[in-house]
């Protein structure tokens, strides 16, 4: 998950992943050089955070993750 500190949407996504017991890596796009550019390239142009991936599959943002969870995915 690409994120930034203090982002409420990032906190929401993080909380859901923790609640579900999902192991994940969090990359702070403000702290890690080149991370924002990598996120934008991997997501097909999405510049907002969070951007969530399962392996190489782009899930999207916090709302997309919550929708996936609600659908049982």
Are the CB atoms for 73 and 24 separated by under 8 Å?
A: no
The pair of three-digit structure tokens given for residue 22, joined into one six-digit string: 């999902």
Q: Evaluate if residue 73 carries a pLDDT over 80.
A: no
Q: Give start and end residues of each alpha helix (H) in 1-73.
A: 8-19, 35-42, 62-70
Domain boundaries, the chain: 2-70
Q: Evaluate if residue 4 carries a pLDDT over 80.
A: yes
Burial of residue 37 (number of CB atoms within 10 Å: 0-12, 13-18, 19+): exposed
What pLDDT shows up at residue 39? Answer: 98
**Per residue in 22-47, pLDDT tens?**
999 999 999 999 999 999 999 999 99
Q: What's the CATH class of domain 2-70?
A: alpha beta
The band of 64, judged by pLDDT with boundaries at 50, 70 and 90, is very high
Residue 61 CB neighbour total at 10 angstroms: 20
pTM: 0.93
């Amino acid at each position: 998950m690409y994120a930034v500190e203090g982002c409420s949407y990032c906190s929401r996504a993080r909380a859901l992943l923790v609640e579900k017991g999902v192991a994940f890596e969090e990359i702070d796009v403000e702290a890690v050089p080149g991370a924002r550019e990598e996120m934008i390239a991997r997501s097909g142009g999405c510049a907002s955070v969070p951007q969530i991936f399962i392996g190489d599959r782009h899930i999207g943002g916090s709302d997309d993750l919550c929708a996936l969870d609600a659908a049982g995915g």
